[in-house]
Amino acid sequence: MPSSPTPSPTPEPSGVRRRSLLGAAAAAPVLASLAGAGSASAAPAASVASATAGPAGGPRALPGGGDLGPNVIVFDPSTANIQGRLDEVFKQQESAQFGTGRYALLFKPGTYSGLNAQLGFYTSIAGLGLSPDDTTINGDVTVDAGWFDGNATQNFWRSAENLALVPVSGTNRWAVSQAAPFRRMHVRGGLNLAPDGYGWASGGYIADSRIDGTVGPYSQQQWYTRDSSVGGWLNAVWNMVFSGVEGAPAQSFPEPPYTTLETTPVSREKPFLYLDGDEYCVFLPEKRTGARGVSWGNGTPRGTSLPLTQFYVAKPADSAATLNQALEEGLHLLLTPGIYHLDRTVEVNRAGTVVLGLGYATLIPDNGVTALKVADVDGVRLAGFLVDAGPVNSATLVEVGPEGASADHSANPTTVQDVFVRIGGAGPGKATTSLVVNSRHTIVDHTWVWRADHGDGVGWETNRADYGVVVNGDDVLITGLFVEHFNKYDVQWNGERGRTVFFQNEKAYDAPDQAAIQNGSIKGYAAYKVGDDVTEHEGWGLGSYCYYNVNPSIVQHHGFAAPNRSGVRFHGLLVVSLGGNGQYECVINDTGSPTSGTDTVPSKVVQYP
């Protein structure tokens, strides 16, 4: 049970998540008033660079800059009825788990008072200053679970970035599960990660944030916090991981289950939109090695800036051909909120290219193509978008580097941040492999790769997806890895010197029988498999859960599989059977106690080997 220094209600931490049984909420109807945004909704138009020279010296056919579209709603301190607009978006998005609405709520620098921005699905809120403290809300940015009877395990796909909050009660509530990052935030108070009533919750991710008060996870099953500062941390349920966090609890896994790294090996914060006077720019934070604490501690972050005129501001009606043309002409991509249907692959071939999504912009490959491919070049930044598998099977959905990529990118790696992948749920979808990383030194910083267990188009073969993340490149680092429900290996890591800081996994709920998951002589595919030939690999704070609710008699031999050699090391491993729906025989390889019975109690391995 979580411990608390006060006599306030304590949650039941080991409740079983039952997403598939509880079902998904129906999408809310689109509000006409939001589809045609008023003066506060239309972002100031950046200057158009139609005559700017392209990379070959000729004129560009496509413009840079431009209006951000109707689903980017921009506020300044003088905007009338801000609360009303926030409430309208929330009313539409609160339960629209698989709806089509996508929104970015942007606040110009200044001070705002008396606001409670409740965030529903596919809604991002962000400040437009260079520092979070440039934009202060005397109020709250709230995620709760009233729409789902107090169960926060489906509070996905929403984000908060680059704001300072002064919570009305002294504590802000952020009760989220996967794909809901809390980045570059300054909470001048505490942060409560549980829903009202302390119902189930399965998050989550904080980065580059300062929480002056205490963070109370309460019922949160797991959490990862990176390069931040906290005034205190209240409790742990299954798996709490920290890297580079000032004020983090000391290393104590297995009890309490805190895995704490003093620094993060390598990090580079996510690109973000900001205002320089009246002009939009995108800030590109610099790479940090051995990072600890926030990147904006002195007010101004370190890095470089690009004017919006160097971006093609894409709209959902744009074709893949148009997006590729913009890239070929030397423009970066800013994906405004909405759903983009792709009949061919978006090809990122130029070093240093930025592809930044707003408001959970969503890419859907319609005809079995790969949605996006990156060449083996330096410094590409992919951030802030969702890739949704289409009804025709794609061999892959996102590829970072071509097969056999071998160039050294240690000085300027490609980063993949808040790029989320979904197979099924919003409708039929199939993909053999979701995310493939071939380029060396790639940093994947927070991803949720999810084969849907509820919604539309869901079934063992209906949304077939064998592999979640496959890493072939050497020297790849993943910080904040969430991968769930794949038919075979959720993560397969073939590259050398790979590192993972925090992993959360659920095996596929819907396996019909033992034979369906049989892996040769092994019962089930590991959640996280390190290739047999790998000589160096390391992971910290990794957990795998099983909930075989279709056939609770299924046995999974282990959650983790890796070569048994000294250079392959793990710290803080656990497996959990949720309510006895399936069991694990071991934790890693043939090591670790089995789960048993109906008690949802983790089996843990402190170090391996």
Looking at the annotation, which residues are catalytic?
506
Say how far apart CA 68 and CA 231 lie, in whole Å: 37
Say how far apart CA 380 and CA 249 lie, in whole Å: 34
Residue in 159, 161, 101 with CA at minimum distance from that of residue 130: 161
* CA distance readout (Å), 334 to 236, 272, 384, 416, 483: 38, 11, 10, 15, 26
Tell me the two tokens of residue 198.
Answer: 């302390």
CA 474 to chain centre: 23
Q: Is 446 left (phi over 0), alpha (psi -120 to 50) or beta?
A: left
DSSP output for 346-379: EEE-STT-EEEEEEEEEEEESSS--SEEE-S-S-
Contact 289, 265 (CB under 8 A): yes
Say how far apart CA 476 and CA 454 lie, in whole Å: 31
CB atoms within 10 A of CB 566: 8
Q: Between β-strands 287-291 and 264-268, what pairing exists: parallel, antiparallel or unpaired?
A: antiparallel
> Is the peptide bond prior to 609 cis by the omega test (within 30 degrees of 0)?
yes
SS3 call for 165: strand
CA 381 to chain centre: 15
75's enclosing H/E stretch is strand 72-75
